[in-house]
Structure 1
Amino acid sequence: MFDRNMTYTFRKAELSDIMPIWDILQSAIQRRKNDGSEQWQDGYPNKEIITTDIERGEGFVLLDDEMVIGYTAIIANNEPAYDDIKSEWLTSGDYVVVHRVALSENYLGKGLAKKILGFVEEVAISLGIHSIKADTNFDNIAMLNIFEKLGYVYCGEVFFRGSARKAFEKVL
């Protein structure tokens, strides 16, 4: 659970946030490797992806005071891999996609990934969208548990860069 005495804010990322975001992602990539995961071990995500997220207004940061401690991308209605799901989504209308959820090493285990996904829900609602779609690697146990705890429903598999990923949807 996150420290309720702490005040966390969520905002669109700025280009000046790239270095702290990249540091967080590099740690997350290494953490996935140390856990024996195949996720994020193929050069993705990288600085170019993060820069593109920010330039498109799709990159978001979680802040503790003014310090960047988390990152995610929120993309509205644009994930071509989701068109070819092996099974089917709960809904067929507008949706937001959440990708690249990562937290600073010093903030792990405080429930902040759930807090980020709560902010994603607020962004979706502000856009008039009532569906969040996401995916993760079959061996990302932490994220699979978070999706389950937050009411995401397993919908099947999608494919990214040649490998299957578990796909989830939450209807708001």
Structure 2
Amino acid sequence: MEYSFRQAQQVDAPQIWEILARAIQRRKEDGSNQWQDGYPNPAVVDGDIEKGQGYVLVDGHTIAGYCAIWINNEPAYAKLNGKWLTEGDFVVYHRVVVAESHLGKGLAQKMLLYIEDFARQHMIRSVKADTNFDNAGMLNIFRKLGYTYCGEVVFRGTPRKAFEKVLVD
């Protein structure tokens, strides 16, 4: 399969929300409290797209995955209970989801590699992210891709594991 990674457009929003809604349900079925508080929601997706921060992984004409990416803009990361590997510019991403029809194909990992390319294109060598303590899939991907556990951050009153990867060429 040939996938492409591009900035999301407003016309993509319904399909993105459908993917996110199903992912929220999967987290609930897994017994997780992640994404069970009304976040994310369609307004969050619309905001990502309007700000040019929403990105999709596309399989032909089908959206196979979604994430939000931005540079140096995660206030919670300034309050890390731990220590980041680097200081200065970083790329951060959130809401990494894969469509139900594309699960089990390694696409979340593929999206993270595209995010690393995004960082390199912007001459940034640090990628930071976080996830829920019980998100075994994401924790495994961080391990596979060489992320380092740096401590905890808090989002909406909930602690999350924070990771960083320093990129090398």
RMSD of aligned Cα (Å): 0.5
1:128 equivalent in alignment to 2:123: yes
Secondary structure of 2:146's counterpart equals: coil
Secondary structure of 1:16's counterpart equals: helix
Residues in 1 aligned to 2:132 and 2:62: alpha-carbon distance in whole angstroms: 28
Secondary structure of 1:50's counterpart equals: helix
Residues in 1 aligned to 2:51 and 2:122: alpha-carbon distance in whole angstroms: 16
Unaligned segments of structure 2, at least 5 residues: none
Task: Compute the displacement of 1:22 (Å).
Answer: 0.2
Task: Compute the displacement of 1:161 (Å).
Answer: 0.1
Match of residue 161, structure 2, among 150, 163, 166: 166
Which residue does 1:62 correspond to in 2? 57
Secondary structure of 2:19's counterpart equals: helix
Supply the AA of the counterpart residue of 1:134. A
Task: Compute the displacement of 1:66 (Å).
Answer: 1.2
Match of residue 80, structure 2, among 79, 82, 85: 85
Residues in 1 aligned to 2:47 and 2:71: alpha-carbon distance in whole angstroms: 15
Q: Deviations over 1:3-60 (max 9, x none)?
A: xxx0000000000000000000000000000000110000010111111111111100
Residues in 2 aligned to 1:161 and 1:92: alpha-carbon distance in whole angstroms: 24
TM-score by length of 2: 0.98
Residues in 2 aligned to 1:53 and 1:130: alpha-carbon distance in whole angstroms: 23
- Work out the number of aligned pairs and report it: 167
TM-score by length of 1: 0.96
Supply the AA of the counterpart residue of 1:136. T
Supply the AA of the counterpart residue of 1:159. V
Which residue does 1:108 correspond to in 2? 103
Residues in 1 aligned to 2:39 and 2:24: alpha-carbon distance in whole angstroms: 9
Equivalences for 1:6-45 in 2 at 5 Å? Answer: 6-45=1-40
Residues in 2 aligned to 1:51 and 1:19: alpha-carbon distance in whole angstroms: 10
Which residue does 2:69 correspond to in 1? 74
Unaligned segments of structure 1, at least 5 residues: 1-5
Secondary structure of 2:31's counterpart equals: coil
Task: Compute the displacement of 1:69 (Å).
Answer: 1.2
How many percent of aligned residue pairs carry the same amino acid? 60
Which residue does 1:3 correspond to in 2? none
Moved over 4 A (4+): none
